[in-house]
Amino acid sequence: MTGKSLKSIFTLFVCLVLSEGTVSQVIAGSPRGEAAGWEQVPKILSRIKTPTFTDRDFNITDYGAAGDGKTDCSEAFRQAISAANKAGGGRVVVPAGSFLTGAIHLKSNVNLYVPQGAVIKFSADPNSYLPAVYTRWEGVECINYSPFIYAYKQKNIAITGKGILDGQGENWWKWKRTYEDRQSLFKHGQDCTPVKKRQYGGKTLRPNMIEPYKCENILIEGVTIRNGPFWHIHPVLSQNITIKNVKVEGRGPNNDGCNPESCKDVLIEGCYFNTGDDCIAIKSGRNNDGRRVNKPSENIVIRDCLMKAGHGGVVIGSEMSGSIRNVFAENCIMDSPNLNQALRIKTNSHRGGFVENVYARNIAVGQVSEAVLKVNFHYEEGDTGKFTPKVRNINMENIICKKSKYALFLKGYERSPIADVRLKNCTFDNVESADIIDNVRNLVLENVKINGSVKK
């Protein structure tokens, strides 16, 4: 689905569900006087440049791959990627057919091209993702199964085309309830155990599906990503990232759509998310390990996306110990009884860190099951730690929602109130319950209607 078609859907959606007066309000965009934060966006986008590649093709069938869905093509992928890299770059082409493989490790200047009719089918055998690699799992660094498509300290890499990446996640989702390894890893992070001693290959921490780690100049465009074992797209400690016109379908446990973590200069555009967890979740490391790495996520632009099922549409946290700033979301549609929140920030006093400068505008929400905006300092462990989080400068303009339990659910700490929350030209209909506002400083509502009544 292209960004242009999503804009058309956005306009049609608004016209179908809103009155004429509110339509013009949403489509027109933000008044000039409220645009100071948005003026950063052109500068951010000017730094995000998609990588280019040498005009050479390396077809995986020339290296022994067979598209019968049964033959292990892992070695063919490895050889084709190595050849392209050594030649100075190019496209590694996956032709029509179904190609079974284990871990794929991208190298610099390589575009993995998966055209329509081509399927990369990832093995259900955990041994296909060994030896283990340096990765980050729920915000804690460790040595774990390789992500299905992985790159480490590479530049100019891409996954493009209109083909399918099939994670066969149903074979992995049964590991959701194996908490022992998860708690063991979190203890390693808390105790600052050297990362090389945090060995989890062969255990039960599900790998992420796509993970560029400490990479630069990344493009993921056009592909359909289906049923990952865990999080689908997870760039970590990387910068200059474009994720465009990607379709993510995965309703399994922890099946987040796209989770940039400790990343800088990211564009997520024209994408579709139908997920078992957050559609987009921006992160920066968990607790002591996040503070050790101490790298924020910043300058994230999200636009023209469609969010269906998921825990939240655009989410920040809960792994935010390295802090998050400058997040911009616009011209998106969110609509499903299985979507809990439109915009959510989740944290607690174990996470610490700060979130600042979050802007959302021109968002059409059909329905969410809980709140349109939720900021909660009492997530998971609650207020039982020593690292008080801070959240400030949250802005929402031209947001409409046709059905929700709450319009606003804001719960900070008395010692650290949620600061500077501004809503302008927003309409929330069929709201079931009164707002929850607890420890918030400087909440400003301008032309905000809830169930037809103007709120101040």
> Does the annotation mark 311 as catalytic?
yes
Distance, CA of 419 to CA of 440 (rounded, Å): 6
Q: Write the DSSP assignment of 279-319 as a string of letters.
A: SEEEB-B-HHHHHHH---EEEEEEES-EE-SEEEEEEEESS
Q: Collapse the DSSP code of 4 into the 3-class scheme (helix H, G, I; strand E, B; otherwise coil) and give the result.
A: helix
Q: What are phi and psi of 308, to 5 degrees?
A: -105, -115
Rg, the chain, Cα only = 22
Distance, CA of 297 to CA of 286 (rounded, Å): 13
Distance, CA of 412 to CA of 390 (rounded, Å): 9
**Per annotation, catalytic residue among 166, 277, 429, 435:** 277
Rounded to 10°, the helix 3-17/20-28 angle is 150
Q: Collapse the DSSP code of 433 into the 3-class scheme (helix H, G, I; strand E, B; otherwise coil) and give the result.
A: coil
**Per annotation, catalytic residue among 188, 232, 311, 350:** 311
Give Cβ neighbours of residue 373 (< 8 Å, ≥ 6 apart). 341, 342, 343, 344, 394, 396, 407, 408, 409, 410, 421, 423
Tokens of 205: 């921490």
> H or E element: which one contains 55?
none
Tokens of 279: 């559609």
> Does the annotation mark 166 as catalytic?
no
> H or E element: which one contains 85?
helix 74-86
Distance, CA of 446 to CA of 133 (rounded, Å): 50
Cite the active site residues.
277, 311
